[in-house]
Amino acid sequence: MATAAPSASGPLTAYDPDGFFCEMLGGQNEPAEHTLSIREKLNRLDLEVLRGRARDAELELYSFGITFTVYSQKDVIDRILPFDVIPRVISAETWNTIESGVTQRVSALNLFLWDIYHDQKILNDGTVPADLVLGNKNYCKQMQGVDVPFGTYVHINGTDLVRGDDGRFVVLEDNARCPSGVSYVVENRHLMQRSFPDLMSKIGIRSVSNYGQKLHEALAETAPAGVSDPQVVLLSPGTYNSAYFEHIFLAREMGVPLVEGMDLVVEDDKVYMKTINGLDPVHVIYRRVGDDFLDPEAFNPDSVLGAAGLMRAYAKGNVSLANAIGTGVADDKAVYAYMPRIIKYYLDEEPILSNVETHICREPEGLAYTLANLDKLVVKPVGEAGGYGITIGPRASERELAKCRAEVTADPANYIAQPMVNLSVCPTLTDDGVKARHVDLRPFVVTGKSTWVLPGGLSRVALTKGSIIVNSSQGGGSKDTWVLE
C-alpha cells in the first residue's frame, strides 16, 4: 500500500478500504497507478471544501429538478439521487475489456432472442431448457415470427457489473428491457465539470455527452425499411413516473417529441401522433413503458399508457420499438445462468466477462447446493427487479434464513443463488469523513446496425456502511464514472 498512500494530509489521508478491492487505490498487491494524479489533486482539497462543494452540487440537482419520484402511502416526494463527489475512475485498459465484454454479451442476447422467436434451435438442442424460455412469463408468443431490423431486439442494454476481491469485473445481471440511469451518467459529469474543474483539469476523461446523438442514430437506423427520414419519439408513462426526469433528458438530448399513450393513435396498422395540424406519422418508438402496457388490444386491456393496435402495426413492420417486445425473457435471472453457454453457442467465443457463479434452484443439484449453503449464498427471486426480495445469507438472521428456506423449497424455480461477491469499494464522502462504500457499475450499450458503448456508466454506491444494495429505491447514490483516455 506504500505507493497508494497519499502524501499530503488531505481527505484521503485517513482513508481505509477496509480490506476490499478499492476503485481508487487498487488491490492489496496491485496499487492503482492510473489514479495517482487524481488522488494527489483530491488530497490537496480540504475536507470542508469538499463538503461545501457537495452541498452546492445537491442544491443544484434539486433546482434543476434532476429528481426521481418516490411514492409513499400519503406523499409524493421528488427526491434527488444522492450524488457523491468523489469520482470512480476506470483505466483505459480495464475499459477495453468491459467494452468488448458487454458488446459480446449484447450480440449473443440478440442472436438468442431472434432464435427463440423463430427457429428455437438452442431450445431444440437442449442447450437451454425449452420450458425455461417458453414457460417464462416474459416470453411473448406474439413475437414469434416477427422480424426486427438487423435482428436488433436489445437496442439499449444496461449490464450490471461488480468487481470482486481479485479486481475482475463480473456480470451480475443484464437489463434488456428499459434500463434506466443513463441521464445520471451525463448529468453527474456536467455537475462535476461545474463543481470540480480543478480536479478534472489535465486528466484525459472520455466524454459522455454524445449519448443522445448516438442513441438517436441507432434508433433511426432501425426504422422500418424504406423510411428515409424517420420520426423517432420517446414514449413515457407520464409525469408521475419515477423516471420521468430521464425521459425528459433523453427526449431533449435526441431532439424528439416525448409522447404519452394518449398522443398516439393507430390507423390502418400505422402509428401516428396527434399534433396541432392533425396526425403525423411515427416510425420509431423508444418506449419507456413495459411490454404489458404497450397495447391494450394485445396485452393488458386496462392499460392507458400505450396505444391500441400498436402490436399489429409492429408485427407488420410499420413501426419499430426499442427495445423490442419480449426481451424480458433474456434478462431473466434464470436465463442469466445460461449466458456463458449462450455466448459460446452463437458466437463460438469464450465470454470476455464472466458471470457470477450461479446455482439454479429449478435444477435438483442447484436446489440441493443452495439449501445446504444458504448461510453462504445470496438468494434472489428471478422475477423481481430493484433489489427486492433478496436474502443475503451471510448477513441474515436465523429467522430470515428459515423464511428464505421455506420460500425456496415451496417454489424452487423462482430462485437462483450466488456466492456472495465482495463488491469493490470507492472512497465516499460521509458524515464521518471519507470512507469506503461499495459500488457497482452499469455501462450502457446502444445497438442499431452495430453496437456502441458509452465510455462511462452509472456507478451506484451503497451509502450505508457495509451495505451492498446500491439501488436508488433502497438508499443508493451515484458517482461520476471517469473512463481515462
Partner 1 sequence: MNRLLSRYAESIYWLARYVERAENLARILDVNETFSRDSRGWQNWRSILELYEDEERFLEEHDEADADAVIYFYTLDQRNFSSIISAINLARGNARTLRPLISTEMWIQLNMFSNKLKSMPRDDLSEPRLTRFCSHVKEACQTHTGITEGTFYRDESWFFYQIGRSIERADQTTRLLDVKYHLLLPRVEAVGSPLDVSQWNAVLRSAAGYHAFRRVQPSGMTQADVSGFLLFHSRFPRSVRACIRDISDRMNQLRSSHRLSGGSKAQEELDELCSVLDDVEIDQVIDKGMHEFIDWIQLKLSRIHGELGAAYFGYPALEDEAPLAEPVPLGQ
Residues forming the site for partner 1 (CB under 8 A): 62-65, 231, 239, 244, 248, 251-252, 255-260, 262-263, 273-278, 280
Which one, 203 or 265, has the nearer CB to partner 1?
Answer: 265
Output Rg (C-alpha) for the chain, integer angstroms: 23
The answer to whether 13 and 47 have CB atoms below 8 angstroms apart is no
Q: DSSP letter at 70?
A: E
Nearest approach in angstroms of CB 241 to partner 1 is 11
Residue 459, phi then psi, degrees to nearest 5 = -95, 110
Q: Cα(2)–Cα(30) distance, rounded to whole angstroms?
A: 11
Which one, 77 or 92, has the nearer CB to partner 1?
Answer: 77
Nearest approach in angstroms of CB 189 to partner 1 is 16
Question: Which residue, 448, 458, 12, 24, is CA-closest to 213?
Answer: 448
Nearest approach in angstroms of CB 259 to partner 1 is 7
Beta strand segments in 154-312, E = 156-163, 169-175, 232-235, 258-259, 264-267, 270-275, 278-281, 284-287
3-state secondary structure of 102: helix
Single-letter amino acid, residue 217: E
51-73 burial by CB neighbour count: b if 16+ within 10 A, else e?
eebbeebeebbeeeebbbeeeee
Which one, 281 or 466, has the nearer CB to partner 1?
Answer: 281
Q: Cα(340)–Cα(159) distance, rounded to whole angstroms?
A: 14
Nearest approach in angstroms of CB 58 to partner 1 is 13
Which one, 172 or 284, has the nearer CB to partner 1?
Answer: 284
CA of 202: how far to CAs of 38, 77, 199, 206, 357, in Å? 10, 40, 9, 12, 40
Helices 364-372 and 398-410: crossing angle in degrees, nearest 10, is: 170
Q: Cα(17)–Cα(466) distance, rounded to whole angstroms?
A: 11
Nearest approach in angstroms of CB 263 to partner 1 is 5
Which one, 21 or 83, has the nearer CB to partner 1?
Answer: 83
Which one, 8 or 276, has the nearer CB to partner 1?
Answer: 276
Which one, 29 or 63, has the nearer CB to partner 1?
Answer: 63
In the structure grid, which three cell numbers stand for residue 450, read together? 452495430
User: 397: how many CB neighbours lie within 10 A of its CB?
Assistant: 8
Residue 461, phi then psi, degrees to nearest 5 = -125, 130
3-state secondary structure of 297: coil
Which one, 254 or 439, has the nearer CB to partner 1?
Answer: 254
Peptide bond into 136 cis (omega under 30): no
Nearest approach in angstroms of CB 285 to partner 1 is 14
Question: Which residue, 305, 343, 23, 296, is CA-closest to 174?
Answer: 343
Q: Could you tell me which residues come within 8 angstroms of residue 414 by beta carbon, excluding any fewer than 6 positions away?
A: 361, 381, 382, 383, 407
Which one, 94 or 183, has the nearer CB to partner 1?
Answer: 183
Which one, 233 or 353, has the nearer CB to partner 1?
Answer: 233
Which one, 248 or 420, has the nearer CB to partner 1?
Answer: 248
Which one, 61 or 140, has the nearer CB to partner 1?
Answer: 61
Nearest approach in angstroms of CB 459 to partner 1 is 25
Beta strand segments in 211-324, E = 232-235, 258-259, 264-267, 270-275, 278-281, 284-287, 320-322
Nearest approach in angstroms of CB 266 to partner 1 is 16
The answer to whether 296 and 302 have CB atoms below 8 angstroms apart is yes
